[in-house]
Structure 1
Amino acid sequence: MPSRLSRPFQLLIAATCVASGGLLLAQDASAPVPASSGAIGDGSGSYEVGGIRVDVSAGNAEAARYAGWRLAQRKGWQMLAQRLGASVGSVSDGTLDSMVSGIIIEKEEIGPNRYIGRLGVLFSRARAGALLGVADQEQRSTSMLTIPIAYSGGAAIAFEQDNPWVQAWGRFRTGNSAIDYVRPSGTGSDSLLLNLGQTTRPGRAWWRTVLDQYGSNDVLVPIVRLSRQWPGGPIIGAFQARHGPDNHLITHFTLRVGNADALPLLLDEGVKRIDAAYQAELRSGGLQPDSSLAYVPPVNATPTPTPTPTETPTDLPVVPGTAPITIAPGDTATVTITVQVDTPGAAAVTATEASLRSLAGVRSAVTTSLALGGVSVMRVAFDADPALFRAELEAKGWTVSGSGTTVRIRRAGATDGTPG
């Protein structure tokens, strides 16, 4: 079909194609929508129908574009109904307007009286599903903490600084995905907790702590290694989709673009293919959380029997190291004690929490302020007088300073120059 675009517009398109460097991806996609504040990405749950091609002529460019978008809505509605296995008759444009929540411009060419485009349409899941008579019974994964890792220039970056790979996951719309992605915003403690070191750590205790903080049950690690042929020239991206604390490889592939300007398009395509691989793994029965990530309440090896209350006075002095201290339930109200402790590593955090929980009268012991390599703060719920808590710690070999409900503990003989 002969082109009806104006001669100046044809020259502009030709110049654009020459400048593109022969990209191997859909380099004509529109500019990405910035990620919203808070958790990144669009998780609105809309039905998305893409790849709708339109070619419309009208009296002027604006009318042609408007008609093209109207036609895309009608085509998208039929494609959605077919995909969901529903049969519907014709629907008015007004009804479609009430269901469409957005138009995605994948590619468009605008002439004086002609509009050619490849578009996507977002339909409200609630309204479209009700009209089509289908319920959303799609299999969904458990909540997956997503840690994107990008290798560029020999360095691995996650949330330590803003980078194109994290931005690509922020642009990705999850409405049509069966994966429940938990995508951190990259602020606060994200850069400290979610990095390459965490993804290679096999210890389940610390993984449980991290996943619990982000309200997740499992972890996904999408990785890209970027290789630049020369400054501003072609870029090759080697992608990997990994799953779980043991970094199980789901799939890997390689994509290439002709110049540096097309890097966002390379990464967007990589995100789509990785998501497709995760969904395929879920449908095949994989992508199940590791059973070792489930929280197991600590259990004392030798539980202390509950003594029978007697007439023995309760104001007798306690001598550290003489005998195990037992606390009868109901003797006193539960008090909250703040404990400061040196934590050179994750193992120290876990060991200290376990030691505190093993003390008689301790209901719970949790870390409220984590400082690996420094002094962390833990909160302990204790069913007795804080003086008894101090005595139990000294009987266990801890050096205790401070008084009342705020104490500083160290292993006997350990010093760091920090005042108690």
Structure 2
Amino acid sequence: MNIVFPLFRHHHSRMPALIAAVCLIALAAFAAVSLTAQVSGNRGIAPVASSSDIDVGGIEVNVTGESAEEARANGWREAQRLAWAKIDGPEIPDSRLDSLVAAIVVEEESIGPRRYVARLGVIFDRQRAGALLGAGGERARSAPMLTLPVLMTGGTQTMFEVRNPWQRAWAEYQFGSSTIDYVRPSGSGGESLLLTYGQSGRRSRAWWNNILDQFGAADVLVPIASLRWEWPGGPVEGHFTARHGPDNRYLADFTMKADSAAELPAMLRRAVARFNEIFAAALAEGTLQPDPTLTLDNIEISPEIRAILEQARDAELAAANAAANARDTNADAAPSTPTPTAEPAVTTASYGIQAATPAASDFDGTLSALRALPGVSRVTVRSTAIGGASVFDVTYAGELPALAALLRQRGWAVNEGQNALGISR
């Protein structure tokens, strides 16, 4: 017993450590599975390739004929005429108009024995129709606009987290003839974590700049669809709101209704076409312009601030000239001394800086502080980790110790590493 008891005590003292190790392993496995589940799965809908043809949708026809086939042919011919008039085309005979049509898109149709009622889309070939349309054939387009469709239903707001009919409507719509250059994410992979409804409410220009740079866009459009079912599978009422820019500015809103869940996709397609008209009208009015604060190099400075900066620059130049004249006078009066050797040229290098960013405001403050350092010509974001440590690449005219000293003078705690720094407040 004297031998067994100490061994039992030793084994018992190690049990909490073993239990803790098993719990940590299980927690790590659960976290890995959870992260994989957030970015994997069938959640992205790739947008269709935009054609350069002229697409005119939403043409409603109600015609008759001797038979169902003749009524349908009359309806399609009537849709061609109405679509041509909608884009201000000149008067031409039907035979020539037929040669300009590349395709007829059936959005909705009801065929009777002698009647044809439908909503159609007509696609005109741009190469053949552009010459007749004049300026309408080649219209100025907007800057690239990152498009984030938001669906509100059942008390939730989703964007790319799961596949939904609103994202599908935007992904499958043909915007080739639109004056808006839509940048439509697919929502696959990590995009579902980056592009969420919460992002549309952010005001941080640093956050928006990082996202827009990833997608090659200049600004953002947020078409919002709020759907309400009267009962499951029954009529659906949709309230749609168009917003724009990093400040989520309101542009317009409208309401549509579908008689059943089966008609919901058609209603959403009509809503996308209506949004395109709203955004195109805003572009023509000059409202849909990229926010200048999203491009840090193009921020406009008020005349008052510009005058103050110019006065300060003139004062610094005058002080520098006075100091140079004083040095020249002292040099003439003093005995000759050996000519000092020329100072070595200052080299410019890129250094990595890892900064603690517990909140979004800390990220913005760090980015602004690094860009304001003397000698820093460029700061790019390598990785963003709110609640952790973000990494920046800084191009600095000088050595790493000089950059570290400069940061310490401004109140940063600095740790020097191999061609990199770690900083925190």
Q: TM-score, normalised by structure 2?
A: 0.68
Shift in alpha-carbon separation, 1:37–1:335, aligned structure 2, 3 A: farther
The correspondence for 1:47, drawn from 30, 54, 58, is 54
Could you say which residue in structure 1 is the equivalent of 2:80?
76
Could you say which residue in structure 2 is the equivalent of 1:248?
249
Could you say which residue in structure 2 is the equivalent of 1:218?
219
Q: What CA distance in whole angstroms lies between the structure 2 residues aligned with 1:348 and 1:175?
A: 42
Runs of 4+ in structure 1 off by over 6 angstroms are: 54-58, 301-308
Could you say which residue in structure 2 is the equivalent of 1:344?
358
Kept in 1: contact 2:53–2:125 (CA 8 A): yes
Shift in alpha-carbon separation, 1:68–1:133, aligned structure 2, 3 A: farther
Kept in 1: contact 2:351–2:396 (CA 8 A): yes
Kept in 1: contact 2:45–2:168 (CA 8 A): no
Could you say which residue in structure 1 is the equivalent of 2:19?
none
Kept in 1: contact 2:72–2:111 (CA 8 A): no
Could you say which residue in structure 1 is the equivalent of 2:107?
106
Q: What CA distance in whole angstroms lies between the structure 1 residues aligned with 2:294 and 2:244?
A: 13
Q: What CA distance in whole angstroms lies between the structure 1 residues aligned with 2:186 and 2:73?
A: 33
Equivalences for residues 125-274 of structure 1 within 5 A? 125-130=126-131, 136-274=137-275
Q: What CA distance in whole angstroms lies between the structure 1 residues aligned with 2:298 and 2:275?
A: 35
Letter in 2 for 1:44: S
What is the percent sequence identity of the aligned residues? 38
1:387 aligns with 2:391: no
1:331 aligns with 2:331: no
Q: Which structure carries more relative contact order (alpha carbon 8 Å, separation 6+)?
A: 1
The number of equivalent residue pairs is 349
1:371 aligns with 2:401: no
Kept in 2: contact 1:257–1:266 (CA 8 A): yes
Q: What CA distance in whole angstroms lies between the structure 1 residues aligned with 2:86 and 2:221?
A: 32
Per-residue CA distance 1:207-262 (angstroms, 9 max, x = gap): 34433433333322211212222222222212111223333322222222233232
Shift in alpha-carbon separation, 1:187–1:141, aligned structure 2, 3 A: same
Q: What CA distance in whole angstroms lies between the structure 2 residues aligned with 1:76 and 1:130?
A: 18
SS of the aligned residue for 1:264 comes to: helix
Please state how far the C-alpha of 1:288 moved relative to its aligned partner. 3.2
Q: What CA distance in whole angstroms lies between the structure 1 residues aligned with 2:144 and 2:95?
A: 36
Kept in 1: contact 2:105–2:122 (CA 8 A): yes
Per-residue CA distance 1:271-321 (angstroms, 9 max, x = gap): 22222223333334433344444424799x99999999x94798xxxxxxx
Shift in alpha-carbon separation, 1:380–1:292, aligned structure 2, 3 A: closer
Compare 382-391 and 48-57 and name the one that shifted more.
48-57
Shift in alpha-carbon separation, 1:47–1:41, aligned structure 2, 3 A: same
SS of the aligned residue for 1:224 comes to: strand
Q: What CA distance in whole angstroms lies between the structure 2 residues aligned with 1:92 and 1:311?
A: 86
Q: What CA distance in whole angstroms lies between the structure 2 residues aligned with 1:82 and 1:223?
A: 27
Per-residue CA distance 1:312-370 (angstroms, 9 max, x = gap): 798xxxxxxxxxxxxx8x323x3221222222233222221222233333221111212
- In structure 1, the gaps of 5 or more residues are 1-35, 315-327, 412-420
RMSD: 3.9
- In structure 2, the gaps of 5 or more residues are 1-43, 302-308, 325-338
SS of the aligned residue for 2:137 comes to: coil
Kept in 2: contact 1:41–1:183 (CA 8 A): no
Kept in 2: contact 1:88–1:132 (CA 8 A): no
Letter in 2 for 1:384: G
The structure richer in helix per residue is 2
Kept in 1: contact 2:147–2:183 (CA 8 A): yes
Letter in 2 for 1:379: D
Kept in 2: contact 1:228–1:236 (CA 8 A): yes
